[in-house]
Structure 1
Amino acid sequence: ELCNRQYSTKNALGEHLKRHAQRKEHVCEHCGVAKVTRTELLTHLRTHNPTWERFKCEQCPQLFRHKSAISRHVRVVHEGQRRFQCGHCEKKFGTHASQVRHERLHTESTGSGEAAEEWPFACIHCQKPCVSRQTLELHLRRHRARKTHRKRREHSRESQEQEQEHDRDQEQGAREAQQDQLRKGEKLRQRDLSRESHRNEVTMQTSQRPNDCQQGQESYDPEPDPLEASQCKLEQEDALDPEWQHKIEQDAESQDSARLEGHF
């Protein structure tokens, strides 16, 4: 009554009507995916088993999780069958799911009030409705790409700012080191000039006043040698003694007489 599809049994028709009513009563305990029939749920549970057998297409190397998917793949890809036609245009599709996704595009373009019901997949970031789960995943990838690009741009800007700050610190450190070297050089030059000036002044004073102190620059008389002073004192005392003076004169006369006798 809803899509003009015909079934041979009431059970098959009942399951199909559940799809129209979106009655997904069978939920996967691993990922929370809901299915209309128990058979679909059992088929889905096989995907959680990593050792589950894969089915290979005989005409190409593609693998499938379900044997029914191989027949659908052969019919659509290799045989090119298009059994499902859009109710709004003449476009045909190989699967019913592709037809439904396409008809949702017509619903969105006409602005029908059924758009919210026929577009069950909505973006959690911007609430944009999507035709299918695959379309939603592509849309979410754009959000992640924008977020990644924004983070990279912010990181690049932060890295650039940090690099500029590092360069400024390096330049400031180089300037401070250069200024410190200049200050040290100026101190050494002033010290050398002061030493040279003091040395010249001391040399000049020493040449003019040899007995002047080089440190205190005060004049003083050198102390006499005690031995020389005592000898000088004895000589002075002997010169004043008359007996010693008479003895000296006699010695001198005897020496003169001896020289005269030796001459003759």
Structure 2
Amino acid sequence: MPGTVVLCDECGALFSSQSALQQHRLTIHNCLQPFKCHICPAAFRRSYELDRHLQREIAYKPYRCEMCQISFKTKSNLSQHNLFRHTEERPFKCELCQAGFKRNFELNRHMNTHNRRRDMDGTI
């Protein structure tokens, strides 16, 4: 009926038709996310949300990890991600005990343990 307003009893939103209310209930209150990204696991309630996501995903993060589908802005960020998350490689080696570390700061922190030990008892 023209001029009729339909109320959502869950949130109080007003709609001009019963079908608009039904669509609202399906997408908002049932948390349906029918719009799926083909690049990553993200899903959205509305098509424009997926479109906006895809623009960012493709335009701003063109380097994608083949193992977990996370995207990065630069090739170097992807390389670092692969080193830290998907390999056991430890390129930073302690010259005193041969312990290996993924990041330089981890090696530096480790070296402090040798320095403290040497300071305490004169040994390495």
TM-score (norm 1): 0.20
Give the TM-score of the pair, scaled to structure 2. 0.39
Choose between structure 1 and 2: higher strand proportion.
2
Question: Which structure's residues are more often helix, by fraction?
Answer: 1
Higher relative contact order (CA 8 A, sep 6+): 2
